[in-house]
Amino acid sequence: MVKGTDTDRATPIVTHIEQFVDYAFNWMVQLMMVYYDSPRNVSRTQGDTFIQSSEFTHPLVVSVKEGSMVPKDRLTQRNEAVELAQANLIDPLTFAERLEDPNPQEFAKRLVLWRLNPVAYAQVYVPEVAPAVVPPVLSPEEQSIPEEPKVESENLLAQVPIS
């Protein structure tokens, strides 16, 4: 409800800004198509690239995706993180970061341990509850499995009825 109110207030302004940016980008591309007769250097992080007007295909239209400039508030990001976590589509560290946990590494570590081994989690992080969760430790005598009596093969053959 709060998100809807914030978005409704911001939507008209953002829509006008998006339309203006769309117009400005198209205007710049049209200028490039007209005035880039010779190759122009466009610097990029991967190296320099050269473009010129003959490389543009006609008609070239640039558009701004609707809603791309709508600000994302913290509540929206948290709700999105919870939805992704419920669907198992987000890792625990990113989940903690989106929830703005003060120590996301510790949060992720605890979450993974809890999901993989709840008993170990209880022993490490909740030791006062661990005795109720952890099964009692058996002595070595209790852990050993009693051996079955060995039956010799001759005795087995003697027990088989022959008709």
pLDDT at 87 over 90: yes
d(CA 143, CA 139): 6
- Locate 50 and state its tokens: 């050269």
Q: Provide the residue ranges of all domains of the chain, joining segments of one domain with +.
A: 2-55, 74-133
> For the whole model, what pTM was predicted?
0.43
Nearest residue to 105 (alpha-carbon basis) of 96, 118, 115, 116:
96
Q: Which residue has the higher pLDDT, 15 or 6?
A: 15
Residues found in the chain = 163
Average pLDDT over residues 69-87: 85
Identify the band that residue 24 occupies on the pLDDT scale cut at 50, 70 and 90.
Answer: very high
Distance separating alpha carbons of residues 71 and 7, to the nearest angstrom: 8
Confidence band for 59, pLDDT divided at 50, 70 and 90: confident
Mean pLDDT across the chain: 77
Evaluate if residue 89 carries a pLDDT over 90. Answer: yes
Residues sharing a CB contact under 8 Å with residue 11, sequence separation 6 or more, in sequence order: 70
Tokens at 98, concatenated: 């989106």
**Per-residue model confidence (pLDDT) at position 1:** 47
pLDDT digits (tens, 9 = 90+) for 103-130: 999 999 999 998 998 888 888 888 787 6
- Site of tokens 């929830």: 99
More confident residue, 46 or 13: 13
